[in-house]
Amino acid sequence: MSVSKFETIVYRNIRIPMRDGITLSADIYRPKEDGEYPAIVVRTPYLKTSQVIHDTGTYFAEHGYAVVYMDVRGRGDSDGEFVPYRNDGIDGYDSIEWVAEQPWCTGAVGTMGGSYLGRIQWLTALTKPPHLKAMISAVTPSDPFVEWPTGLPNTQHICWTFMTSGRVMQNINAVDWQTVYDHLPFTTMDEAAGFISEQWREEVSHTQLDDYWKHICYQDKFDQMDVPALHVSGWYDDEQIGTPLNFMGMTNNGETEHARKNQKMLMGPWPHQINRSTKLDDLDFGASSLIDLNAYQRRWFDYWLKGIDNGIMDEPAIDMFVMGENKWRKEKEWPLARTEWTKFYLHSKGNANSRFGDGVLSTTPPTGEEVAGQDEYDYDPKNPVPFITDLVSHQIGGPDDYAAVERRDDVLVYTTEPLEEDVEVTGPVKAHIFASSDAKDTDFMVKLLDVRPSGFAQRLTDGMVRARFREGMEKQVLMEPGTIYPFEIDCWNTSHVFKKGHRIRIEVASSAFPKYDRNLNTGDVLGQTTEMKVAHQTIYHDEEHPSAIVLPIIPK
């Protein structure tokens, strides 16, 4: 059915007042025809002048919306000082309510955007703007330390801090980022990048979940939010963990039944820049992996802002792409109710070091007859295990081949026999590892991979724990050297079919650099020192210490 389109007009640099007297700058895309239209507010630190923004604003205006693109406080043409996330809740409230009062607005307002633009929608929802009717939150960062459970910002966050350190975008390609990431102490990486950032140094000084960070938390407050939300991300989004957490948080704990029943989630085979290409590195997920995202989002807003009964809320809550099988599928809940949570246990004869070792992964628990119940390696922070990634902060990692990295003896490798049939893994992945160290503090990383018959070891998902935070991010408890501790490692989520003849593999290591900062193994104050220590690590997998990864197997 054809849809008539409105001729559009754009009003540039409209000044929108905030409660403290400063004004923020917005470009407003509207149908040229006089009338009242529902509005979509998009607030960004990345400047409202891009071609993508123009194209998206034009699209929704052509379909009967007023779209308000705004530079956040202190960025672009907006007044004030840019302090990430600290003012965005109340500024979001004031912006929405100003828009709702305009003669060209029906009073129904939605919000949209991804990454920083997604997180500030949640901070705004906490302030309860009366006219906020629905959100589309994409590739949304979590609360502090959920994605970066090290007590410090992600190493590549210094790149983002540099990029947004002025009113306009800074040239991140002008910096030798590898040299910057290698710099110690961590707190002065800004200086190594050629600038001084009070914001960076303050963030580095707060190394646990204290009041400084709790001020910008939202994932512990879903019971204070009553707004329908469409949650969008990709399995290879480097901030993917936030989207399923937000979907589950609102579905289970939203303030009202209205909120709990009106959440949807869209998960594609995409990186942080969602829905841009069918290919990711050497993988091509097929033509169906790209969708008309504008049309998908418009359908959501048509229902919630225009009151069009288009059936979207009668459909299952989840649209997700199953990798390996490379097909879209609809599901009702997350995790899936039919999931068979299956433990794959670590085994070896004591030499699981590298992919040439004897590490085995199987569903058989270890027994007292095991020849060896442990593996050992040395972790040297001067020579960390590399995490394969571009060095800028746009996207951290992908479906990369770790076969070469697995040649290292400080990487333990455990692999199943070739699969006799296809195995689907869809849902949250967690590892339970028993380990000790001769250091007071150290890290443990776990990675899940699909090993093709060619030997290509495709990263699917991974996670880590910093030993001093094993009891939570609100306190630091150092290790007793030689003591065995249980560690639960959140390896985020995936949806992937391991094909017949492929093998399931996990890696265990103590670094993944530069995705995470290097643990210097001394137990000293985080981020402030340069002294390093080699840590001798032991991973246990005997009957008393059955280390395993728990995979969400979906039966055929």
541 counts as catalytic: no
Active-site annotation holder among 63, 157, 231, 272: 272
Per the document, the length of the chain is 556
Rounded CA gap, 262 and 96, in Å? Answer: 21
Asked if omega into 316 is within 30° of 0 (cis), the reply is: no
3-class DSSP state for residue 374?
A: strand
Rounded CA gap, 545 and 255, in Å? Answer: 41
Range list of β-strands (E), 61-179: 66-71, 105-114, 132-138
91 counts as catalytic: no
Q: Measured between alpha carbons, how far apart are the two ends of the chain, in Å?
A: 37
Q: What is the DSSP letter of 349?
A: S
**β-pair type (229-234, 263-268):** parallel
**β-pair type (229-234, 132-138):** parallel
Rounded CA gap, 423 and 535, in Å? Answer: 37
Active-site annotation holder among 78, 115, 233, 436: 115
Structure tokens at 347: 């085994």
115 counts as catalytic: yes
Residues 6 or more apart in contact with residue 307 via CB below 8 angstroms: none
Q: What is the DSSP letter of 152?
A: S
Residues of 470-482 as b/e, b for ≥16 C-beta within 10 angstroms? beebeebeebeee
Residues 6 or more apart in contact with residue 212 via CB below 8 angstroms: 202, 206
CB 127 within 8 A of CB 96: no
- Of 195, 24, 37, 201, nearest to 120 by C-alpha is 24
Tokens 């699909």 belong to: 450
| Burial (0-12, 13-18, 19+ Cβ within 10 Å), 314 | exposed
Structure tokens at 319: 């649209």
Range list of β-strands (E), 124-166: 132-138
Residue 43 CA, chain-centre distance (Å), reads 20
Half-sphere exposure of 105 toward its Cβ, with a 13 Å CA cutoff?
23
Active-site annotation holder among 71, 88, 143, 237: 237
Other Cβ atoms within 10 Å of 229 Cβ, number: 29
Residues 6 or more apart in contact with residue 272 via CB below 8 angstroms: 115, 139, 234, 237, 238, 239, 394, 395, 396
Residues carrying an active site annotation: 115, 237, 272
